[in-house]
Structure formats: C-alpha cells, structure tokens
Amino acid sequence: MSWLNPNKTHPIALPDGTEIRNTVYLNKVIDHPRITAGDFSYASSFDPVEDWAQTLAPYLFPISREKLVIGRFCQIAHGARFITSSANHPMGGFSTFPFRVLRPETMGDYLNLPCRDTVVGNDVWIGMNALIMPGVTIGDGAIIATGAVVTKDVAPYSLVGGNPATLIRRRFDDATVAELLRIRWWDWTPEKIAANLAAIEGAYLAALASA
C-alpha cells in the first residue's frame, strides 16, 4: 500500500502531497552501530534535526556497549530522549566526577561500568518530552505520557506517567493483552494490516484473531 510504505523517509504528507519533513521513519535516517529501529517506527520534532541518533539518544556513542532497540510501529513525540547507560557516572567511590573520561588513555575504563540495553517494544507511543532512563524495557502497546520519567520497566499495554513514571491504568484486561501479544499484528505484511485496519483501529479482537 502506498500509504503504508516502509521505504519512505517522511511518512506523513498533506493532501496536496507536501511531505511533513519533521517526521521521519527512524530506520531511514539513523545509521548508528548501537541503535536499531523496526519498520514504520517514526519520530517527530518541531525543530530541525541534523542527527536523529544524537537527538534521541545523546549519550549513546559508537564505542558504547549498550544498545537502543526500538520495535515496529512506535511513535516518538518531540523532545523525547533516551538516557542510555553511557550517561552514567561511577557511584562506588567518594566522588561521582568522571576523572578517567577526561584522559584519552583511561576513557576506556568507562566501558566497565554496569550497562543494560534499552528496549522499546512494538506499537509504543512515547509522549512529548518523556525521558527513558538507562536499561528500561517498555512492553508492546505501552503508552508513555508527556513529560514522564521512566525509571523502570513498563508492562505491555500499560499507560504510565509522572516522575518517576507509575502505572496510570492498564489499557486492556489480561486476557485481551495476552491475545494481542499472541497475534502480533505488527509483524504482518503492510497489505494484511491494511486489510484488517478496521479491526485494529476499532479494537475488534475476535476479528483480529480470525485474521
């Protein structure tokens, strides 16, 4: 389907065909050895962006050990940031000052600090100015509220908000969540998704399951 094309860079266009340049499919604009993003996952910014990897994950460097993994069909709003493990300072001594990072010959010592990958599932909506802290895993279908500071894992299909982010509500009951995680519609082809869009948008679980 031309409107659901993973090969586009700018997925949103006005009725006259004018592309919205400040919204991008991430895997078309990010070339970073520690970041992966699935098809159709996009980010938006009100400001011009020259480097989407640095904008979204400013502390994730090519020499970092951790990764940022983003699933398919995620939506990342303006100002959202991932604070990855490479932002950490040593906390076991009397000072947190990063003395060793100031010397090229000892900078590599920071590779020994604890680190965990940051993982975002599929169909996750991350609101404006949200902060995702190091090593967090966000489950499929979760919603991160505007301005939230996510310091711990988020269960699938949960809505969280606040600082630190806490559960506001579950989007669906446990049985529905289990079925959605079994169906995994986000792994379908664009054509199959388009054919079953009414069931996805309307939350018709039986129709989605039968597809």
Report the catalytic residues: 89
Provide φ and ψ at 82, rounded to 5°: -110, 115
Separation between Cα atoms, residue 72 and residue 40, nearest integer Å: 6
Compute CA distances 47 → 23, 35, 50, 164, whole Å.
Answer: 11, 22, 10, 27
Compute CA distances 118 → 96, 123, 169, 191, 199, whole Å.
Answer: 23, 16, 23, 30, 31
Which residues are 170's β-sheet partners? Answer: 158
**Cβ contacts of residue 124 below 8 Å, gap of 6+?**
71, 74, 75, 138, 139, 140, 141, 142, 143, 144
